[in-house]
């Protein structure tokens, strides 16, 4: 990516660290959505993370970032409304198949928005996949969420005591 800063005809070339700084400090507004799109094409994951943190992105920019190879970029873009609005079942399946605990935790944290607010995917489809994960942290985080009771019952019988405890606690709250 070639970038330069020009002021009154005087210009300098910019490296990725300066672009990262610029991406961070540019006001998060619609007027900057085109420059955010160009910055999203950077080879630097740090620049792309800074862009993924913005709320005023074009749909094309969000879709570009959802194809990113960096887990940190993916985690950041699905924390935004524009990112979640571009999700679908295929993208979410690909994310789960990446098997990144960090990314799976982010999906779980955004589960309500993904399935209820933006209707990107069916709750049972996602929870079916996540409840089978080997890492107890994923099952623990899932057990803390507002998920269907049948899954809480599965998690209440989990061999990991922490997972089982939080699932049982959540089940008790449902009974009240």
| Residue-wise pLDDT tens digits, 104-145 | 999 999 999 999 999 999 999 999 999 999 999 999 999 999
Tell me what pLDDT residue 176 has: 79
Q: Which pair of structure tokens corresponds to residue 127?
A: 């929870």
Task: Read off the pLDDT of each residue in 82-101 and give the average, rounded to a whole number.
Answer: 97
Whether the Cβ atoms of residue 64 and residue 41 lie closer than 8 Å to each other = yes
Tell me what pLDDT residue 84 has: 97
Tell me what pLDDT residue 155 has: 98
| Mean pLDDT, the chain, whole residue set | 97
Tell me what pLDDT residue 119 has: 96
Tell me what pLDDT residue 173 has: 93
Task: Read off the pLDDT of each residue in 81-103 and give the average, rounded to a whole number.
Answer: 97
Given a cut of 90, whether residue 53 has pLDDT beyond it is: yes
The domain segmentation of the chain, as residue ranges, is 8-86, 88-176
| All residues at 6 or more sequence positions from 83 whose CB lies less than 8 Å from its CB, including other chains | 52, 57, 62, 65, 66, 76, 77
Using a pLDDT cut of 90, give the percent of the chain over it.
98
Q: How many CB atoms lie within 10 A of CB 116?
A: 11
Tell me what pLDDT residue 26 has: 98
């Amino acid at each position: 990516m070639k970038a330069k800063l020009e002021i009154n005809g005087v210009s300098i070339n910019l490296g990725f660290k300066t672009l990262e700084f610029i991406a961070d400090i540019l006001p998060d507004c619609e007027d900057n959505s085109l420059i955010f799109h160009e910055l999203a094409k950077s080879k630097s994951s740090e620049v792309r993370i800074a862009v993924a943190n913005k709320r005023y992105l074009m749909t094309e920019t969000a879709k570009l970032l959802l194809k990113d190879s960096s887990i940190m970029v993916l985690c950041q873009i699905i924390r935004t409304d524009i990112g979640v609005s571009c999700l679908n079942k295929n993208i979410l399946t690909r994310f789960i198949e990446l098997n990144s605990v960090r990314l799976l935790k982010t999906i779980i944290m955004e589960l309500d928005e993904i399935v209820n607010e933006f209707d990107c995917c069916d709750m049972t489809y996602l929870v079916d996949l996540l409840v089978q994960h080997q890492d107890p942290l994923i099952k623990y985080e899932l057990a803390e969420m507002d998920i269907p009771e049948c899954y809480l019952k599965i998690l209440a019988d989990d061999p990991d005591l922490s997972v089982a405890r939080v699932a049982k606690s959540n089940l008790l709250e449902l009974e009240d």
